[in-house]
Amino acid sequence: MMQSFMRRTVLGALSAVALAGPALADKVTMNLGYAAPEKSVYGVFADLFNKHLTELTNGEIEIKIRCCGQISSEDTAFKAMQLGTVDAYVITTNNISPHWPLMDVTVLPYIFQSPEHMLAVSAGPVGEKMQKMMQEATSLHLVAFGGPQYRDFYNSKRAINTMADMEGLKIRVPKNEVMLATFEAFGAEPVPLAWSETPTALQTGTVDGGDNGTTFIRDMKFYEFEEHLVILEHFMSMAPLIVSDVFMRKLSEEQRAAMYEAGRRASKEHTEIVLKELEEVRTWLVEEGGMKMTRPDKAEFIAAAQGVQEEFAQDRDDEFRALLAEIRAAAE
Q: Please report whether residue 4 resides in a domain.
A: no
pLDDT tens-digit readout, 47-79? 999 999 999 999 999 999 999 999 999 999 999
132 and 48 together in one domain: yes
pLDDT value at residue 256: 97
pLDDT band at 332 (very low <50, low <70, confident <90, very high): confident
Q: Please report whether residue 16 resides in a domain.
A: no
- Range list of β-strands (E), the chain: 28-33, 61-66, 88-90, 141-144, 149-155, 170-173, 189-192, 209-213, 228-237, 241-243, 292-294
pTM of the predicted model as reported, rounded to 2 decimal places = 0.89
74 and 183 together in one domain: no
| Average pLDDT score over the chain | 92
* H or E stretch covering 7: helix 2-19
95 and 109 together in one domain: yes
307 and 212 together in one domain: yes
CATH number, domain of 248, equals 3.40.190.170
118 and 75 together in one domain: yes
Q: Please report whether residue 194 resides in a domain.
A: yes
170 and 216 together in one domain: yes
78 and 129 together in one domain: yes
Q: Please report whether residue 37 resides in a domain.
A: yes
d(CA 180, CA 168): 14
Q: How many domains does the chain contain in total?
A: 2
pLDDT tens-digit readout, 12-28? 443 433 333 344 346 89
318 and 246 together in one domain: no
262 and 317 together in one domain: no
Percent residues over pLDDT 90 in the chain = 89
Q: Please report whether residue 211 resides in a domain.
A: yes
Q: Please report whether residue 13 resides in a domain.
A: no
Domain containing residue 136:
27-147+239-277
59 and 173 together in one domain: no
pLDDT tens-digit readout, 200-233? 999 999 999 999 999 999 999 999 999 999 999 9
195 and 58 together in one domain: no
pLDDT tens-digit readout, 69-117? 999 999 999 999 999 999 999 999 999 999 999 999 999 999 999 999 9
Percent residues over pLDDT 70 in the chain = 92
d(CA 147, CA 214): 13
129 and 217 together in one domain: no
pLDDT value at residue 296: 98
Contact 71, 111 (CB under 8 A): no
pLDDT tens-digit readout, 261-295? 999 999 999 999 999 999 999 999 999 999 999 99
Q: Please report whether residue 19 resides in a domain.
A: no
Give the alpha-carbon dihedral of 139, 130, 259, 50, to 10 degrees: 110
Q: Please report whether residue 5 resides in a domain.
A: no
